[in-house]
Amino acid sequence: MMIEIPQESDSKYSKPPRPSSLKPLSLNVVVILCLFVTLLICALSTFLLNQRLQQQSASIQSLKSEVDLSKQTIELLQEMQTTLSEKTDTSVKQQKLLADSFDGKLAAIRSQLSTLQQTVQSNNQTSSDVLESLHSTIAGLSSTIETFKKMFGMAPSENNPQSPPERFPADPSVGHVQYGPGGVPSYDPSFQEKQPSGAVPYRPPAGQAEEIPDTTKDLPETQRAAARADSVKSELLSCWNAYKKYAWGHDELCPNSMRHKDWGGKGIGLTASDALSTLYLMGLHDEFNEALKLVTEYIDYDQDIRVSAFETTIRVVGGLLSAFELSGESNAALLDTAVYVMNKLLVAYNTSSGIPHQTVNLKTHEHWNPDWSSGASILSEFGSVQLELRTLSYHTKDPIYDMKGAHLTKILEAKCGPDMMCPTMFDVANGEPRSDHITLGALGDSYFEYLLKQYLLTDKSETRYRTSAAKVLDSIRVRLFRHSTPSRQGFIGEYLDGAFDYKMDHLACFAGGMYALAAMHLGDDDDAGKVQSFRVVAEEITETCYQMYDQQVTGLGPEIVDFPNGQDFRTGEAYYLLRPETVESIFYMWRLTKNQKYRNYQWKIFQHIKKHCKSAETGGYSGISMVNIVPAEQDDLMQSFFLAETLKYIYLTFVDDSVLDLHEWVLNTEAHPLKIRKRDPLDVWRDWEQSSGSVRWRPPTLDGVGLVETERMMQERLASGDARVVADVDPLGSDMKSQGDEYQEQEDNRAQFDPNENVYSKKAVRHDSVRKVKQKIRDKVSAIMISHRLAANNADSVGNEGPGSAAAG
């Protein structure tokens, strides 16, 4: 019997009839087919999964080796940290903090690595996100380590591959400095871009500063500004009172632990000398007087402690001098103390090049450079003491200070190439550059600031400073100033190891103010376009630095940001030390433009500082460890520059310009105002001679270069043909002899703690140099005396001949 298979057309689905050539498939075949397909899918997924696992495990291996490498670097860094922990200067402190933060970063990497291992084992799909984030953290760490190693002259890591560099796109007519083995700058037109190592994904900004309720908001402008200024003043008072209560006479207040911190020994009252000029400008006269009494009568500056020659110059000497000038130049104790301290620091300048050592012992007068800089001196330090030295010479009528400072500028002019883009380190023995790192951040910053300010302090009379300043401002603009994508944030990068580095320190934010000051004062320049370009740089840098604050949840700016591959900034080192540079630029922009925006920026920053940095216990202020986390963790240190600079710049933004007229005053790099005066060292000297009625001459320095200066000054004196000067010049010889002996003695002393110094050859050079200069001056003296005598003889013979003689005609 035939079994009739029902036709599909009969079924309820009514499908079209199957072509007669196709036989219906048996159930077995269908099952086998299904099994085959399933197997195929399984095999494919296993293959793909395996591949993914292999890739991830290779990544883990490479990450592990990166972590190992980082660990080795950290060991090296720890050694360095031990040395650094004793140092007092800010730039070094900053590097120490950087080193400290490596441990934290390594811990973060370890934890991300173990999460990644777990996710890979459980085949979790989020592993690629973790991998990406881990890679980015490691890339950030590696780049920080490389920068750090470079700074300290350590060999770069071999397995830190750099992406292929891009050609430098800037103005091809401008060359780029490279420092070869001899350290002499040469111009390399093939300046290249440095790419961050590893893949750095673009990260949007970290957050947005919260709006803090503003009680001054609805007041009319004048009252609003006055209310804001009062508020700043009362916070300065709060800091001062906390310092008085918990740290009086010491260097800095630890506001959370209610203790103090000293550079060494009993401290030298750093916060008090640094606060003097702010107290004065704010009209806090009682507080000014108590600070003055402390620093001029009670502080012991003769302790057996090591201090930074630079920091002591800008904070202590600068603070005292500024207080002296602001308060009417009548308080001799202020000037005497400044001179007393500076004379102690001056021994550091007794080096063969005249470039000072970084560290001085206030009692023993030993001076040296720390190991971490391989014996070199730091540009930002010796490149920014000239304003203080010049002011000291003016008031003491002793050219020695100014000549020491002017000599440093001359070395830099000679060694840095025509555009004055100096690197961060210099050899004290011969004045040669010893690094290929050019930065407006740590180790370089205030050198760039002081070129312009030296010109301004001389009431624009020393035009060579103008030339240097204009050159440097232009070079920075062309070579280091860039715009990010996508937001076109203007920023100043660095030059490191022959390439551009997309990193910007908070310290470099002072540049907005520097360009604003240039736009204000160089306006009489013929080249109006250049001045306009300075104004644009000023605006854009200030805006970016403000955004660094505004795009953080605390409303405070981080210590370092980077602009990966030229993209918008992301937070690098996230701590905030109460630094002033951004509010400094905002202040200058306010003065330049009078745009209310800048007052509002300043006020917002002030509100956030108050909210996150004020210690509830003491009323003092403290830095914070992470700007991108709330609640903020305070670091228990009220840096003296918070009183000297940060609060002063904010305050000056809300008061009338007449409180500090920028045509009469120049702020030193610690924001201490110094009076603008037209003078040169010879004027100072001549004034002194006139007022004292006698010639007192001593060679300004104890080193070879100082003698060159001596000779120059002597020649000018002699060329002036002043008979009194010529007649008095002879004692110079004996004076110089005694100075030479003194130098010899100092060199011998130095040899006691620096056995590597080649004292004997230096002594020989010294004596030779003294002898030659003395001889030259004697030759000139006798030439002039002979000509005087001849002239006198002539006059006599003319006189003898009587009126109406032919000779008289």
Question: Nearest 5 degrees, angle CA 100-CA 101-CA 104?
Answer: 115
Q: Which is nearer to ligand DMJ, 445 or 562 (CB)?
A: 445
Unique residue bearing structure tokens 């750099």: 162
Q: Please give the Cα distance from 234 to 764 (Å, whole number).
A: 60
Q: How far is the CB of 300 from ligand DMJ (least distance, A)?
A: 23
The number of angstroms, rounded, from the C-alpha of 93 to the middle of its chain's C-alpha atoms is 12
Short-list 228, 329, 332, 337, CA closest to 272: 337
Contact between 191 and ligand DMJ (CB under 6 A)?
Answer: no
SS3 assignment for 108-169: HHHHHHHHHHHHHHCCCCCHHHHHHHHHHHHHHHHHHHHHHHHHCCCCCCCCCCCCCCCECC
Out of 641, 649, 651, 654, the residue judged to bind ligand DMJ by CB under 6 A:
641
Q: Which is nearer to ligand DMJ, 145 or 578 (CB)?
A: 578
Q: Please give the Cα distance from 797 to 355 (Å, whole number).
A: 54
Unique residue bearing structure tokens 């395996």: 50
Q: How far is the CB of 507 from ligand DMJ (least distance, A)?
A: 6
Out of 670, 703, 709, 747, the residue judged to bind ligand DMJ by CB under 6 A:
670
Q: Please give the Cα distance from 381 to 368 (Å, whole number).
A: 14
Q: Which is nearer to ligand DMJ, 80 or 507 (CB)?
A: 507
Contact 341, 320 (CB under 8 A): yes
Q: How far is the CB of 469 from ligand DMJ (least distance, A)?
A: 17
Q: How far is the CB of 92 from ligand DMJ (least distance, A)?
A: 12
Site for ligand DMJ in 199-218 (CB under 6 A): none
Q: Please give the Cα distance from 550 to 543 (Å, whole number).
A: 10
The amino acid at 309? A
Q: Which is nearer to ligand DMJ, 636 or 683 (CB)?
A: 636
Q: Which is nearer to ligand DMJ, 366 or 670 (CB)?
A: 670
Q: Residue 285: phi, psi to the nearest 5? A: -70, -35
Q: Please give the Cα distance from 657 to 652 (Å, whole number).
A: 8
SS3 202: coil
Q: Please give the Cα distance from 168 to 229 (Å, whole number).
A: 46
Orientation angle between helical segments 581-593 and 528-550, nearest 10 degrees: 130
Catalytic residue among 193, 474, 550, 559: 559
Contact between 90 and ligand DMJ (CB under 6 A)?
Answer: yes
Closest residue by beta carbon to ligand DMJ: 669
Q: Which is nearer to ligand DMJ, 90 or 352 (CB)?
A: 90
Q: How far is the CB of 370 from ligand DMJ (least distance, A)?
A: 18
Q: Which is nearer to ligand DMJ, 539 or 670 (CB)?
A: 670
DSSP letter, residue 634: B
Query: Is 311 a catalytic site residue?
Result: yes
Question: Nearest 5 degrees, angle CA 477-CA 481-CA 483?
Answer: 135
Contact 302, 362 (CB under 8 A): yes
Q: Please give the Cα distance from 500 to 492 (Å, whole number).
A: 10
Q: Which is nearer to ligand DMJ, 482 or 579 (CB)?
A: 579
Q: At CB < 8 A and 24+ separation, what contacts does 749-755 make?
A: 750/350, 750/366, 750/367, 753/366, 753/368, 754/368
Q: Please give the Cα distance from 124 to 94 (Å, whole number).
A: 41
Which residues lie across from 501 on neighbouring strands? Answer: 494
Question: Nearest 5 degrees, angle CA 205-CA 93-CA 357?
Answer: 135
Q: How far is the CB of 560 from ligand DMJ (least distance, A)?
A: 13
Contact between 458 and ligand DMJ (CB under 6 A)?
Answer: no
Contact between 669 and ligand DMJ (CB under 6 A)?
Answer: yes
Q: How far is the CB of 389 from ligand DMJ (least distance, A)?
A: 16
Q: Please give the Cα distance from 620 to 42 (Å, whole number).
A: 67
Catalytic residue among 89, 193, 262, 311: 311
Contact between 240 and ligand DMJ (CB under 6 A)?
Answer: no
Q: How far is the CB of 578 from ligand DMJ (least distance, A)?
A: 8
Residues for the chain: how many in total?
Answer: 809
Q: Which is nearer to ligand DMJ, 407 or 453 (CB)?
A: 453
Contact between 322 and ligand DMJ (CB under 6 A)?
Answer: no
SS3 assignment for 524-552: CCCCHHHHHHHHHHHHHHHHHHHHHHHCC
Query: Is 75 a catalytic site residue?
Result: no
Contact 470, 519 (CB under 8 A): no
Q: Which two tokens stand for residue 529?
A: 């376009």
Short-list 563, 573, 568, 490, CA closest to 196: 563
Question: Could you tell me how many residues of this chain bind ligand DMJ (CB under 6 A)?
Answer: 10
Q: Please give the Cα distance from 615 to 594 (Å, whole number).
A: 33
The amino acid at 327? S
Q: Which is nearer to ligand DMJ, 503 or 579 (CB)?
A: 579
Q: How far is the CB of 380 from ligand DMJ (least distance, A)?
A: 7
Q: How far is the CB of 315 from ligand DMJ (least distance, A)?
A: 7
DSSP letter, residue 433: B
Catalytic residue among 581, 689, 709, 747: 581
Query: Is 581 a catalytic site residue?
Result: yes
CA contacts within 13 A on the Cβ side of 307: 33
Catalytic residue among 419, 445, 505, 645: 445
Q: Please give the Cα distance from 311 to 415 (Å, whole number).
A: 24
SS3 162: coil
Q: Which is nearer to ligand DMJ, 378 or 470 (CB)?
A: 378
Q: Which is nearer to ligand DMJ, 109 or 345 (CB)?
A: 345
CA contacts within 13 A on the Cβ side of 262: 17
In sequence order, the 6+-apart residues with CB closer than 8 A to the CB of 27 are: none
Q: How far is the CB of 510 from ligand DMJ (least distance, A)?
A: 7
Q: How far is the CB of 684 from ligand DMJ (least distance, A)?
A: 26
Q: Please give the Cα distance from 473 to 530 (Å, whole number).
A: 10
Q: Which is nearer to ligand DMJ, 379 or 781 (CB)?
A: 379
Out of 334, 416, 507, 781, the residue judged to bind ligand DMJ by CB under 6 A:
507
SS3 assignment for 562-597: ECHHHECCEECCCCECCCCHHHHHHHHHHHHHCCHH
Q: How far is the CB of 384 from ligand DMJ (least distance, A)?
A: 7
Query: Is 559 a catalytic site residue?
Result: yes
Q: What does the per-residue mask of binding to ligand DMJ show for 573-592, with x meaning CB under 6 A?
A: ------xx------------
Contact between 446 and ligand DMJ (CB under 6 A)?
Answer: yes
Q: Please give the Cα distance from 381 to 97 (Å, whole number).
A: 19
Contact 599, 231 (CB under 8 A): no
Residues at the site binding ligand DMJ, with contacts judged by CB under 6 A? 90, 445-446, 507, 579-580, 641, 645, 669-670
Residues designated catalytic:
311, 445, 559, 581
